[in-house]
């Protein structure tokens, strides 16, 4: 095996699940080692706060695999990028849900490899560059004719509800599709109630979270947000509560949003919660379309949209021009016509975070090779 071959490690280190892969740095290279972790299984017995056990286990797996090929893991052509669920500062990420800290510099020094950390949603954004738009298993049109509207040099936007509400945008830097992704905290803009019921919901959330004047859209458009919407409706309409569903909801703190989505039926409280969620989600997606005018595509990502589109009881509120999501998306007054030019997709692929980390790792690896060639 050629010792000069470059390898990359790409990881999507989430608050609940993590995916990590070892590739050759060549484009579309097959995975040499790939592991998916449920984080809670590995939350004990850290050797250091910089090394969550999932990273230690994966590094050991990489060492073993490369050793079989006669390659030392400390080969300087190994580059790693980890997309992490929290703000990244000075190549260090303190996770938003406080489960652990990942220190890129410490990993780099310990394993003698090049390491960069990026925010998980920046990973989602770069991952969108890898999508096969013609593959229905990867993504689907939410707005009819979106594939034919794509401007291959136009700005792109990614919005996705999961644990929170992430947003990012990408711009092209040359006359070839070579995009740079920029983070955003757009998920924390104000929630705008649509009717009297939503005004009451807004006040309920202000009281719950101790806010006197505002509530963010993420408080509704997220897994936790969907659960809080249901909780509000259950308190307001106690006569409509299905006790079997409600008992399951109360017993599953972590997965309460999943319970609401899975139990939605015509006219029940879960469906009412999903409709409020879909309206707020569509509205904010439309806001993104107005703010960034992403002629290169607006991509709705995250596990929630994938689950909603798989369930016929919730799919109808997101797919189709008459759906709650799409009606709200296009409800932009005198500028509504602009949204007709924006290609809009729902992303079904579950691994675009790790794909995005791979995009960055490969770019870093190529830059390192170029620098070495110049100096040599």
Tell me how far apart the alpha carbons of residues 211 and 219 are, in angstroms, rounded to a whole number: 12
- What's the Cα-to-Cα distance from 153 to each of 77, 170, 296, 359, 376, rounded to whole Å? 31, 10, 6, 18, 35
Q: pLDDT at position 331, please?
A: 95
Across the beta sheet with 7-13, the strand order is 31-38, 17-24, 7-13, 78-84, 114-119
Give the pLDDT confidence score for residue 210 in this predicted structure.
94
Question: What is the per-residue pLDDT for 40?
Answer: 67
Give the three-class secondary structure for 347: strand
Helices 223-236 + 269-292 axis angle, to 10? 130
Neighbours of 50 (CB within 10 A): 18
Q: What is the arrangement of strands in the sheet containing 297-301, beginning at the earlier edge strand?
A: 139-141, 344-347, 297-301, 156-161, 165-172, 179-184
Q: Residue 236 in 3-state DSSP? A: helix
Buried b (16+ CB within 10 A) or exposed e, 363-374: bbbeebeeeeee
Instruction: Please name every residue paired with 117 in a beta bridge, in sequence order, or none if there are none.
Output: 82
pLDDT in tens, the chain (376 residues): 344 678 899 999 877 778 899 988 876 677 888 888 777 676 554 444 556 778 888 888 888 888 888 887 766 678 999 998 888 889 998 876 566 788 899 888 888 888 999 988 999 999 999 999 999 899 999 999 999 999 989 999 999 998 889 999 999 977 656 899 998 889 999 999 999 999 999 999 999 999 989 999 999 999 999 999 999 999 999 999 999 999 999 998 778 999 999 999 999 999 999 999 999 999 999 999 999 999 999 999 988 999 999 999 999 999 999 999 999 999 999 999 999 999 999 999 989 999 999 999 998 888 766 655 545 4
Predicted pLDDT of residue 370: 60
CA 309/CA 373 separation, integer angstroms = 48
Q: Which domains does the chain have, with CATH numbers?
A: 7-126+352-375 (3.30.420.40), 187-347 (3.40.367.20)
Q: Which helix (H) or strand (E) holds 180?
A: strand 179-184
Go through the chain and tell me how many residues it has: 376
């Amino acid at each position: 095996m050629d010792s000069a071959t470059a390898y990359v490690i790409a990881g999507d280190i989430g608050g609940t699940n993590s995916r990590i892969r070892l590739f050759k740095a060549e484009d579309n290279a097959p995975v040499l080692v790939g592991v998916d972790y449920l984080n809670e299984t590995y939350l004990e017995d850290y050797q250091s706060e910089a090394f969550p056990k999932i990273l230690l286990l994966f590094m050991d797996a990489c060492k073993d695999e490369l050793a079989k090929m006669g390659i030392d893991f400390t080969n300087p052509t190994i580059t790693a990028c980890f997309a992490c669920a929290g703000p990244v500062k000075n190549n260090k990420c303190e996770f938003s849900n406080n489960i652990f800290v990942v220190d890129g510099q410490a990993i780099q020094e310990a394993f003698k490899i090049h390491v960069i950390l990026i925010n998980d949603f920046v990973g989602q954004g770069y991952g969108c560059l890898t999508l096969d738009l013609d593959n229905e298993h990867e993504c689907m049109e939410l707005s009819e004719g979106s594939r034919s509207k794509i401007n291959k040099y136009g700005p792109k936007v990614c919005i996705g509800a999961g644990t929170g509400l992430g947003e990012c945008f990408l711009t092209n830097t040359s006359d070839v599709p070579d995009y740079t992704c920029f983070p955003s905290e757009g998920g924390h803009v104000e929630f705008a109630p649509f009717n009297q019921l939503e005004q009451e919901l807004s006040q309920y959330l202000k009281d719950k979270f101790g806010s006197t004047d505002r509530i963010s859209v993420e408080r509704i458009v997220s897994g936790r947000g969907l659960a809080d919407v249901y909780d509000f409706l259950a308190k307001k309409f106690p006569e409509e509560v299905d006790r079997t569903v409600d008992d399951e909801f109360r017993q599953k703190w972590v997965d309460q949003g999943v319970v609401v989505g899975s139990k939605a039926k015509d006219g029940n409280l879960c469906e009412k919660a999903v409709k409020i969620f879909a309206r707020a989600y569509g509205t904010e997606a439309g806001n993104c379309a107005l703010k960034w005018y992403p002629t290169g595509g607006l991509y709705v990502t995250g596990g929630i949209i994938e689950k909603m589109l798989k369930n016929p009881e919730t799919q109808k509120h997101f797919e189709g021009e008459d759906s709650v999501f799409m009606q709200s998306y296009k409800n932009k007054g005198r500028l509504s016509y602009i949204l007709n030019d924006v290609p809009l997709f729902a992303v079904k692929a579950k691994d675009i975070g790790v794909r995005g980390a791979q995009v960055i790792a490969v770019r870093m690896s190529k830059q390192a090779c170029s620098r070495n060639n110049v100096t040599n």
